[in-house]
Amino acid sequence: MPVITLSTDIGLNDYLVGAIKGQLISAMPDCSIADISHQLSPFDYQQAAYVCGNAFKYFPAHTFHIIIVNFFEKAPSHLLLAYYNDQYIICPDNGMLTMIVREKPNNIQAINITSKNKSLLDCTKVIADCIYKMITNAKLSNVSAITEIDEKYPMRSAVGSDWIDSQIIYIDNFENVVLNLTKDEFEEIRKGRKFRIVLMRNSEFITKISDHYAAVHPGENLAFFNAAGYLEIAINKGNVAGLFGLQKYANTSNMQNRLLYQTVRITFE
């Protein structure tokens, strides 16, 4: 029984997600479909990479992960089919693949879209047929080798001798803030020094890493490394993003706004 996940920017207000699931079940009645998220932002690849990459690793080997994010950035002449860490990833050729896996996989093929009609459901029908042929060992007539793909990669924190500026890559439903800084990266730069996570210039700091929310009293700020290994900032029973005006990072021309609200500075001493 194939396991298939769906990650999209479609939302749940119309018929499309249901129609895609119907295509998959029609092709493979015994398949198991898991929803990762259908609320991904169409142009926020960093967010999609964070959500998808950290969910995929918990699925069994040979799971098929279908990603529909910014699907029509360009005319879909083909889709990408990659095999990486015992998982299959199917997505548009728009940079999403390398954003998720943080490198260019060695095993990538193109699923060619040859039909004249190239609506979303035309393309997902091709995906469903391709997965069916793969699990039944049938000939894949529309799959070919590909070497050149669109490559995009996650942002890295800016680093100085005694500071880090990390971008906000995700804000959850509780308005907790996730930074693009892992525990290993933090400790490598920290080198055992004391630190301050600056929430508001010269007035609000976090100076220790907690294990969980209950490590501080309600209303207090805290920082911890979440289950995905990224630094997360929160308020116990509060909303840190709303209180401090923090926003997801966006590559805009307004540098002042970006530095004030979309990054968090950590200083060392």
pLDDT score of 260 more than 60: no
Residue 157 DSSP SS3:
coil
Look up tokens 């706004």; give the residue: 257
Task: Measure the CA–CA gap between 116 and 77, rounded to whole angstroms.
Answer: 10
CATH numbers and ranges of domains, the chain:
3-145 (3.40.50.10790), 158-268 (2.40.30.90)
Q: Do 49 and 63 touch, CB atoms closer than 8 A?
A: no
Structure tokens at 118: 């190239």
What DSSP string runs through 171-219? E-TT--EEEEEEHHHHHHHHTT--EEEEEETTTEEE-S--SSGGGS-TT
pLDDT tens for residues 144-203? 999 999 999 999 999 999 999 999 999 999 999 999 999 999 999 999 999 999 987 667
How confident is the model at residue 223, as a pLDDT?
A: 97
3-state helix, strand, coil in the chain (%, to 5): 25, 30, 45
pLDDT score of 259 more than 50: no
- The DSSP symbol for 31 reads -
pLDDT tens for residues 101-139? 999 999 999 999 987 778 999 999 999 999 999 999 999
Contacts of 161 (CB under 8 A, 6+ apart): none
pLDDT score of 62 more than 90: yes
pLDDT score of 261 more than 90: no
How confident is the model at residue 251, as a pLDDT?
A: 59
pLDDT score of 82 more than 60: yes
